[in-house]
Each structure stands twice: as C-alpha cells, then as structure tokens.
C-alpha cells in the first residue's frame, strides 16, 4: 500500500493542473458539447451532460499525466539531452527481474489510465469493441510519439521515455474499459439515441442559441472564403485593383447570412444548417402565404440584429423568451 501511495504522490501536481484547467476547458467547449448532445440524443439529458464534462476532465488529466511537467531552464531533459526510446516489448521481464514488485504500480497505472478512454468510447460514444481498442491504440501512440519527439519537435530532445510496453498496457486498459461499459449496459442500459430524421418544432432557448452559433460559424467560414476568392481574383485581373478596397467581406457575410437564415430554412421546413444538426425547426406552427413570408422576414431582422449587435441585443431576447416562452417572430 505504501508503494502505491508513494507512486501516486508523484502525480499530485498533474492532477491539480487538470482540475485547474477543467472549468476553463469546459466553458470553452460548452457550445460544441451541447451541439453534439442535441445531435446525438435529440434532447439534453443530465446524465449525458455530466458524463461529457467528466470526459473533458479525463482528456485533460490524460494530457497532464503523460506530458506534464514540460522541460524548463537552459539544460536538462528535453533541452540538452534526451531519453532513448524503449522498443523491446519484453523489456518488462528484465525490469521485473531487477526491481521486483516495485515495477507493478507503473504497469497498473498505465492500464488503469486508459480504462476510462475505453469506457467513454463504449458508453458515451457507443462505439464497438474493436473501434474502441483501435482508438486506445492510436491515442497511446500519439502520447508516446509526443514524449519521444520532444512534444513533436517543440523541444530539441525527448523528455520522457517512449515505451512500446506502455502502448501495450494502454491499449489493454482501453479494452478493459470497454468491457466495463458493456457490463454496465446490461444492468443500466444507456439512454436511447435520437431517431433518424427526428426534428422538434418546439425548441427551447438553449437549442436555438446552439443552432444559431453553428449557423454563424458557417456564415463566417463561407463569407471569409468567398471574400478571399473575390479579392484574389481582383488582384489578378487587369483594372481590378481599384475594386479591392470595397467591403467584400461585409457583403459576403450579409449574403451568406441571408442564405443561411432565410433561404435555406424556407426550403427545408424551417431547419437552418445548424438547426438541422441539433434537430430543430424554427417553424413552431404551420404558416402559409404572406404569414410565412412575414415570419421569415421578421426572424431575419431579429437574428440579424442579434448578430450585428452582439452581445447588446441578446439580454433583451433572453428576457423576452423568459416571459413569453417564445421568440418575437414566433408571435406571427
């Protein structure tokens, strides 16, 4: 027991660092996480959300435990000297013969470290056995490669041992983790996934925000690419230089916004590209003719204002939704 306690004491700082980074990483990843959960489940479940945020903590912990502390100073490992790679898969036999049971905590740690990865793959991602094992193998390979190459060349020398035995232990841990997830599923089955083509016509405010965020990402990407192409063409067309300073980026952004928030949902039953991903339609009730046209024009005006005057208009929209339980354009 003292042997295990002494071994784990060397990783206290790594665990503390992961805990410190966890809230910041969780906040930064909130929108992608919500988008994925809405897409996978068709709704937000408390258990799924908690599991996903714990998975974020695990990924941070994996990075901190395997790559931290980083080299520092003017000399030492990673700076002026490196650690040779260990490529003998039977090296653990010699280690055990030399050091006895003191080698077991390190082996057990490498197995246990990757068990959550296999569990996450099987339970949260719903992957099969071999896919989960391959994922564990690839993640372990990336970790060992980072250790053996000085974090992919950031440092001139390796600062930790790239060990092929760790690859074996880690992959075994992922397989055991998946087996634990499969055993748990027999006792406590995971929640049902969203059905193919499932779409809600009564989306909540959070789902609307996530869909709008995805749409704005698409608008930004499309407008940036289009504006860049236009400017590039103008630079290479005789007489085009005098048009280069025009606000092409703004025009492209406005056009992309209209296409994404007006033209696309009008032709796809109220689902924008982002809305389709999170399984929602903005059409909360049937509308036809001029009423449907007025609905989409008002929606474009409201969302356009929210997009242009972010974050000034959003508190007003939040207050409106809290009292009315709908968006302004839903009143039409």
Residue pLDDT, tens place only, 75-114: 777 787 778 888 888 777 777 777 777 778 888 889 999 9
pLDDT of the residue at 144? 92
Work out whether the CA dihedral 221, 154, 161, 73 comes out positive or negative. negative
- pLDDT > 80? residue 332: yes
Which residue range forms the structural domain that includes residue 209? Answer: 205-331
Domain boundary among 152, 187, 222: 187
Count Cβ atoms below 10 Å from residue 294 Cβ, excluding itself. 13
- pLDDT > 80? residue 261: yes
CA distance 233 to 142: 41
Mean pLDDT in residue range 211-236: 91
pLDDT of the residue at 37? 95
Give start and end residues of each alpha helix (H) in 188-308: 205-235, 248-258, 264-267, 273-277, 289-308
Domain match, 161 and 112 both: yes
Q: How many domains does the chain have?
A: 2
Question: Could you tell me how many residues make up the chain?
Answer: 332
Domain match, 183 and 215 both: no
Domain match, 176 and 230 both: no
Two structure tokens written together for 116: 């959550």
Domain match, 164 and 129 both: yes
pLDDT category, 193, cuts 50, 70, 90?
confident
pLDDT of the residue at 95? 73
Residue 286's region, left for phi above 0, alpha for psi from -120 to 50, else beta, is beta
**What CA dihedral angle connects 25, 214, 211 and 227, to 10 degrees?**
150
Residue for token pair 């008002």 = 298
Residue 318 host element (H or E) = helix 314-324
Quote the mean pLDDT of the chain: 89
- Quick: pLDDT tens for 279-329: 999 999 999 999 999 999 999 999 998 888 767 788 889 999 999 999 999
Nearest alpha carbon to residue 323 among 205, 240, 148: 205
Q: Is residue 199 part of a domain?
A: no
How far CA 261 is from CA of 201, 224, 237, 252, in Å, comes to: 16, 17, 33, 14
Domain match, 150 and 272 both: no
Give the predicted TM-score (pTM) of the model.
0.87
Say if residues 127 and 116 touch (Cβ distance below 8 Å).
no
Domain boundary among 159, 187, 215: 187
Domain match, 151 and 237 both: no
Say if residues 133 and 179 touch (Cβ distance below 8 Å).
no
Domain match, 90 and 235 both: no
Nearest alpha carbon to residue 138 among 114, 110, 108, 107: 114
pLDDT of the residue at 6? 55
Q: Is residue 69 part of a domain?
A: yes
pLDDT of the residue at 224? 92
Two structure tokens written together for 187: 């006792």
Say if residues 79 and 156 touch (Cβ distance below 8 Å).
yes
Say if residues 252 and 221 touch (Cβ distance below 8 Å).
no
């Amino acid at each position: 027991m003292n042997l295990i306690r002494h071994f784990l004491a060397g990783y206290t700082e790594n665990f503390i660092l992961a805990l410190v980074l966890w809230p910041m990483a969780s906040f930064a990843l909130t929108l992608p996480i919500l988008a994925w959960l809405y897409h996978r489940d068709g709704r937000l479940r408390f258990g799924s959300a908690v599991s996903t945020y714990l998975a974020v903590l695990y990924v941070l912990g994996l990075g901190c435990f395997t790559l931290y502390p980083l080299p520092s100073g003017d000399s030492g490992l990673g700076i002026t000297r490196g650690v040779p790679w260990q490529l003998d898969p039977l090296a653990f036999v010699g280690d055990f013969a030399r050091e006895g049971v003191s080698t077991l905590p390190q082996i057990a740690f490498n197995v246990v470290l990757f068990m959550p990865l296999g569990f996450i793959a099987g339970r949260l991602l719903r992957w099969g056995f071999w896919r989960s094992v391959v994922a564990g193998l690839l993640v372990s390979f990336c970790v060992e490669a980072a250790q053996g190459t000085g974090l992919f060349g950031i440092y001139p020398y390796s600062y930790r041992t790239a060990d092929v035995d760790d690859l074996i232990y880690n992959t075994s841990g992922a397989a055991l983790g998946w087996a634990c997830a499969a055993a748990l599923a027999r006792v406590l089955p995971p929640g049902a996934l969203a059905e193919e083509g499932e779409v809600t016509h009564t989306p909540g405010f959070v789902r609307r925000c996530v869909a709008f965020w995805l749409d704005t990402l698409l608008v930004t990407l499309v407008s940036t690419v289009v504006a860049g192409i236009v400017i590039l063409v103008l630079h290479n067309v005789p007489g085009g230089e005098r048009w280069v300073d025009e606000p092409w980026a703004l025009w492209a952004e406005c056009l992309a916004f209209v296409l994404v928030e007006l033209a696309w949902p009008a032709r796809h039953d109220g689902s924008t590209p982002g809305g389709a991903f999170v399984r929602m339609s903005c059409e909360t009730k049937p509308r036809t003719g001029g009423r449907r046209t007025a609905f989409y024009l008002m929606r474009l005006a409201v969302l356009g204002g929210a997009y242009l005057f972010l974050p000034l208009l959003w508190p007003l929209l939040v207050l409106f939704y809290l009292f009315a339980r709908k968006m302004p354009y839903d009143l039409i």
